[in-house]
């Protein structure tokens, strides 16, 4: 499914949205993250894929590869740690806490009885658990019935207490809120709800790091964006809002078109665009693209997306699998890339859109288009990845290393 956003603004970045997401706060978040040993802040690769661009009939395809961001394996390493630090600093405003000292564990005595909790499909919970372990606070992670044991073990490895709930992701969010109220714990969620906006906003500011790096790596200027189109994953909308907000503020009227992509059965953003207001998904929500299997959009993220996202679309799980395989295969001009299930959504969206002539025309895609994709994760569930691609992550990375050696 594909729809254009009838509420999109073609204006300078509005002040009311700047109060939610802005470049100044994103820059501060980026500086704070540089003090965490789990993050590589030299910048993740921005791959140029000329072979695929020629095959699909566009001028350029670039892919931002977040699989290399951290041992955590995904872009979520940028959001949860910033939200945790800002939460702690708000809780103890007179202690002159710094990101460097917190990440180095110098306030463990202060934080030993402080507990954070969140629901997750995997990556957000793992990032929060790792950040909590670094600063020295307690962490409880709620996972729902469809989260596989491989992802559960990866979270538990960072010292988090795991609570398994029935139902889907949205029901695990409700369970996390219930436990927080009962035990006086602190919810660190990437989705907002009534009366809960500060922490999701902080998470989105961390995600803006991706857009900031893309600007630098691509040679974009305020007056010239290196890309005509940006395809970005949906989910609750946090990543999409972080990318849209940053690039819109940076480029103003010269911003690219934004296409938000989500699973067909977890279409809360698509349905919100059709309805003109936050609306629940219409499908089962369960998806191979586990990080995007969300039934309800974040109202805070929606404020950015309703104004700034040009198009919304859905893809099938089989489309994501095909995109994973295309990325992994590579060719003599394109490196083989390790792109996980949720990370493949943008490429799946592009490939799907280009097969539909009416949608392609409506989105303004043609032979002159320069497309940015964001691969949000690598093989965060290695067995799932191998089953989808027919090859292990280690094998793909070995072929990538050989390709780079030949290209040098």
**Domain residue ranges of the chain, discontinuous segments joined by +:** 2-74+198-407, 80-187
Strands (E), 101-217: 115-120, 138-143, 161-164, 186-187
Residue-level pLDDT at 159: 94
224 forms beta bridges with: 221
Which residues are marked as active site?
A: 76, 121
Q: Taking the complete model, does pTM exceed 0.85, yes or no?
A: yes
Residue-level pLDDT at 122: 79
- 110 against 196, higher pLDDT: 110
Two domains, one topology: 2-74+198-407 and 80-187: yes
How do residues 94-118 score in pLDDT, each as one tens digit? Answer: 999 999 999 999 999 999 999 999 9
The residue behind tokens 């909308």 is: 237
Rg of the chain over all Cα atoms, to the nearest angstrom: 20
Are 100 and 123 contacting, i.e. CB atoms less than 8 angstroms apart? no
Mean per-residue pLDDT for 264-274?
96
Tell me the fold of 80-187. Rossmann fold (3.40.50)
Q: Which CATH class is domain 2-74+198-407?
A: alpha beta
- Those residues whose C-beta lies under 8 Å from the C-beta of residue 358, and which sit 6 or more positions away, are none
Phi-psi sector, 167: left (phi>0), alpha (psi -120 to 50), beta: left
- Burial group, residue 332, by CB count within 10 angstroms (0-12, 13-18, 19+): exposed
Residue-level pLDDT at 208: 95
Q: Which band of pLDDT confidence, cut at 50, 70 and 90, is reported for residue 167? A: confident
How do residues 58-76 score in pLDDT, each as one tens digit? Answer: 999 999 999 989 888 889 8
Residue-level pLDDT at 260: 98
Identify the CA nearest to 102 among candidates 73, 77, 126, 131.
Answer: 131
């Amino acid at each position: 499914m594909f729809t254009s956003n009838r509420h999109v603004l073609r204006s300078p970045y509005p002040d009311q949205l700047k109060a939610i997401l802005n470049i100044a706060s994103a820059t501060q978040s980026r500086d704070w993250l540089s003090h965490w040993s789990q993050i590589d802040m030299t910048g993740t690769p921005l791959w140029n894929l000329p072979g695929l661009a020629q095959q699909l009939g566009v001028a350029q395809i670039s892919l931002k590869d977040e699989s290399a961001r951290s041992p955590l394996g995904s872009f979520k390493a940028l959001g949860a740690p910033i939200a945790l630090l800002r939460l702690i600093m708000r809780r103890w405003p007179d202690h002159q806490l710094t990101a460097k000292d917190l990440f180095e564990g110098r306030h463990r005595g202060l934080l030993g009885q402080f507990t954070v909790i969140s629901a997750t499909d995997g990556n957000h919970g793992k990032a929060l658990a790792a950040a909590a372990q670094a600063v020295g606070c307690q962490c409880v992670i709620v996972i729902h019935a469809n989260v596989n044991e491989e992802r559960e073990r990866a979270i538990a490895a960072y010292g988090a207490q795991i609570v398994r709930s029935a139902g889907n992701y949205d029901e695990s969010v409700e369970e996390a809120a219930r436990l927080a109220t009962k035990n006086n714990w602190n919810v660190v969620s990437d989705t907002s709800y009534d009366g809960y906006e500060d922490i999701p906003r902080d998470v989105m500011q961390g995600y803006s790091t991706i857009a900031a790096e893309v600007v630098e790596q691509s040679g974009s200027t305020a007056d010239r964006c290196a890309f005509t189109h940006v395809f970005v994953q949906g989910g609750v909308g946090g990543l999409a809002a972080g990318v849209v907000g940053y690039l819109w503020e940076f480029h103003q009227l010269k911003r690219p078109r934004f296409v938000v992509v989500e699973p067909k059965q977890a279409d809360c953003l698509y349905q919100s665009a059709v309805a003109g207001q936050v609306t629940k998904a219409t499908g089962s929500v369960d998806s191979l693209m586990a990080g995007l299997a969300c039934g309800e959009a974040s109202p805070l993220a929606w404020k950015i997306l309703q104004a700034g996202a040009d198009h919304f679309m859905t893809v099938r799980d089989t489309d994501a699998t095909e995109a994973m395989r295309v990325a992994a295969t590579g060719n003599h001009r394109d490196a083989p890339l390790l792109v996980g299930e949720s990370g493949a959504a943008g490429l799946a969206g592009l490939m799907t859109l280009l097969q539909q002539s009416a949608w392609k025309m409506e989105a303004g895609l043609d032979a002159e288009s320069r497309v940015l994709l964001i691969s949000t994760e690598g093989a965060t569930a290695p067995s799932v990845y191998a089953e989808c691609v027919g090859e292990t992550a280690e094998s793909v990375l070995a072929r990538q290393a050989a390709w780079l050696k030949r290209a040098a």
